[in-house]
Structure 1
Amino acid sequence: MAENAVAEKNEEKNPLAREESRSYERYIKPAVNIIETEEGLTLTADVPGATKDTLEVHVEKGILTLSASASRNLPGKPAYTEFELATYYRQFSIPEVLDQEKARADLSNGILTLQIPKREAAKPRKIEVKVS
C-alpha cells in the first residue's frame, strides 16, 4: 500500500496531472524566467495587457498558478496588429522549502515579478567551529 501512497502524492504535485479544468478558450503561455538564489526564487513573467485586477497568482499543494486576462487599453482603433491578446495561464511545481506565506508579487509595465523566499530552516548557513 505504501507504493500507491507515494504514486498518489507524486501525481498530486505534477502540474499536468492536477491542472485545473479550463474552457476551450484560447490561452497564452507567458514567457517566464526563474532565478534561484540562497535567499529564494524570483520569477518574472511577461504578461502585457494584464492588470492588477485581472492577474491571479496562487499556490496550492505545491503548484504555483499564474493566470490573467489581457486587454488592449489604447485609444483609437488598431490599424495593424501582429499578435493577439488572450488569457495567460501557466503552472509550476515549486519546492516545499519556499515560504509561500512571505511571497511578494509586483506588476509593472506588463512584467510580473514574484519573489518567494526560502524558509529560514532551508537557507544555507555557516557553522562556526570552536577550538577546545
Structure 2
Amino acid sequence: MALSIIPMLAVHDAAAAISFYQSVFGATEANRMVTEDGKTSHAEIRVGDARFMVADEFPEHNTAAETLGGTPVILYITVEDALETVNNALAAGAAMLREVAAQPHGDLVGKIKDPFGHVWMIAEPLKTVPQKKIIQGN
C-alpha cells in the first residue's frame, strides 16, 4: 500500500485561493464540494504530480492561518522558473518574504506569503547536490 501526505490548507476564501493557485502555480482542480451556503468544504488541487486540498475555514473543524496569526508550515514547491513564478505571485497579491537567490543545496529559491496566510518557498532546481555534501560531518 502506497502512503502519502496530502496537505489541507484552511483559508478564509477557498474559491479565491484556488483561483490564486491556478494563476500562479498552474494548478488544476480535481474536485470540489460546496456546502449549501456556498462554502468550500473540500477541494483537491493538483500541481504537476503533487496534490493538496483547500477548504474554507470551519471553526469547528479547522482554522485558517490568518485566524491563528500565521503558520509554522512552509510549503516547498518546485517550478520551471522561480523568478517568474514569484513575480506572478506578487502580482496576484502575495507578499515577498525572501528574494529569489541561489541556495547552497542547489536550488534557486524565493519565499512568499500568499494572500491567504500560507508561506511558500518557490524553488527552481539548478543542479543535483550529492546528499553527503548536505549532511554535516560527511
* TM-score for both structures, normalised by structure 1: 0.25
Higher Rg of the two aligned structures: 1
Task: Give the number of the structure whose residues are more often helix, by fraction.
Answer: 2
Task: Give the number of the structure whose residues are more often strand, by fraction.
Answer: 2
* TM-score for both structures, normalised by structure 2: 0.24
